[in-house]
Structure 1
Amino acid sequence: MQELAQLSSSALSERYQQSLLGVFGAPQRVLVRGAGCHVWDADGNQYLDLLGGIAVNTLGHANPLLTSVITSQLATLGHVSNFFTSPSQIALAEKLLEISAAPAGSKVFFANSGTEANEAALKLTRRNAGTEAAPRTRVIALEHAFHGRTLGALSLTYKEKYRAPFAPLPQNVTWIPAGDIDALRNAVDETVSAVFIEPIQGEAGVKMLSTEYLQAAREITREAGALLVFDEVQTGMGRTGSFFASAPVIPDVMTLAKGLGGGFPIGAMIVFGEENTKWLTPGDHGTTFGGNPVACAAGLAVIHTIESQNLLEKVRENGTWLREQLCSIAGVSEVRGAGMLTAFELAEANAQKLVAAALDAGFIVNATDEKTIRLAPPLVITQEQLGSFLAALPQLIAAA
């Protein structure tokens, strides 16, 4: 490790390509340090992180409280397996039930990532199998959905190029247009076990779904006896200016990850209502690392900071301001988002070229397609920091 710390980015990138499986392609930079909303690479260059590890670094990098809590918990009790529990696991479950306004009898299952949380949700919804005479064999998902890369979650993911190499996949999935209430009503019947919805489709380019649509989904699934699952892996934990983008609509199941741990791996499935907790019983599912004391302590620290620093209000204010400013920039044709999850479309420029130009200028952003740039910075980012990107953006668009 000491030897690697002395190497340049180019030398480290070469070592990376010799030793790591190339599923991510060549790394754009080798990052060695972070503080607040900035990171530094192996050559000493500084970047404003406007992607936040893809909506993960809720409190920025090296947050003092989060670092202290993780260190303290690891020095006390790191891992015990789920033959046992810990105070931090119980406390985080109780806190998630509180902030999600879960009804009495609701329960939490902890995992390590978003795709694992969605796998747990899929297994739960499979138990809503109907009867032998009237089996529930279908799952409804939305066009342009992204729910993960494991085989079950992948079967819900819309993009054909992700699914095709691994077919046949385990779920019988029907995709319907996102936001179309009539299409949803026509698709959901007694053959459907569950409907999976991202309240905002982040990987699709921050495509928004209305509260009206989410409420309709709640009514339609309840009438048909199907389970409603909200995937809040990217949108949850304050990202949109409220703890959950789907609020006030309450589903049967909600999945979380990314921002919940503030950079420490954790996923969660909240099961709403005692009637839905019956679907998974002892032995039906499990995880070795899920809900470990350190991850749960991290989740508690994240929630405490969001609440104590009034970050939800700041996220709403700064997000609205950011999108207003983006609308006034030449070359930006459309802006959408909520809180600190924003996308803007380019009228003519190539989004991948803009990502590269931005990186060279000291800004980390993401392209979701050839025309769309996504921003998901830490919730603690300031207007001044956002303003530095906005000031540079016209030149970046010209360069792209």
Structure 2
Amino acid sequence: MNSSTPYRVTSIDVLRGLVMVIMALDHTRDFFHRTAVTADPLNPATTTTLLFFTRWITHFCAPTFVFLSGVSAFLAAQRRTKQEAALFLIKRGLWLVVVEITLITLGLTFNPFYNFIILQVIWAIGWSMVILGLLSWWSWNAVLVVGVLLFFGHNVVDYMKFPAEGPASVVWLALLTARGAVVPLNATHLVGVFYVVLPWTGIMLPGYCMGRWFTRDFPAEKRKRRLIVTGMALITLFVVLRWINWYGDPVPRKIYPDLWSNVLSFLDASKYPPSLQFAGMTLGPALLALAAFERIQQKWSKVLSVYGRVPFFYYVLHFYLLHTVLVIAFFAAGYHPAQIAQVPFWFRPADFGYALPGVYLVWVGVVAALYRPCLWFDRYRGTHRQWWLSYL
């Protein structure tokens, strides 16, 4: 077990902060854009360029966040024995699953009856941490082998048939195949399975293995070179697979009659579930950004690192703040209490919303409002040692 002296990698905090800020744009669009619940922003046939890239840029957030969760898990493990680190990952993973179902679902929906439970990135991270804990208890090599198999091989299931009904079908949906599936629990309660587990585990496990590059004694220039080479390799893999249009995405790329629509189609790799093409498209630039942010010391990077040091705190808080603003906008727009109960988000009628400039204005305001709370919590966590802080 290595020294317990606190050690942070600036580039990780800055990149994580950047993706947290961009992530809030997508959720702001979900709540406030006038066509968010009625149209696909990534459909080249119906979208606009600004709307497409408003949605597309947020694709980088979840895979980068999951990957960095793996890196952070490795670095945190250096302060514990192998067994202690593995057990902590398992416990924290199960705790995150509970938080997703309860606290985050409530923040998203504002529905106290939980008629629609939403399983998203925290759910996937939670189960991925459980799997990572079990594998790392065995060995680092086990994490590497399973990570490589899942990362490069999970799209093999695109050519397989799975049960269409019964409990087995639900298990496969949750583990591998769901593309935004909605599963009924009973006549009044639904579960939205938007993040399947194993493809996201295939992103976290390589992050854990690459955590070795971010340890205190690893040469910074060597890390930077490896990040650049790996990032370029992933981008090349994305371009080649996307061009061949045969493997690496559950939905083959569509061909359109005009050039710009084909460019947009080329970039529209599957996030639900995250395909190999999607992972190459997003993680390649993320690794290049990590290399670029090595030892960065700019004003803007210091601001981003505040969000990046307390990502879970920011993540939970931004849903509740966004939805509170939505409630205010709901009544200000003249809607009535009888229109509150909507699926999936209360206070979000299908005909409600603003144009994109209004969405961007709300996004900037919410992110700015969260800076001081995040700064306070970062300082609090740095000066207090309660056991529960390690779970946040």
State TM-score, norm by structure 1: 0.28
State TM-score, norm by structure 2: 0.29
Higher-strand-fraction structure: 1
Q: Which has the higher contact order (CA 8 A, sep 6+)?
A: 2
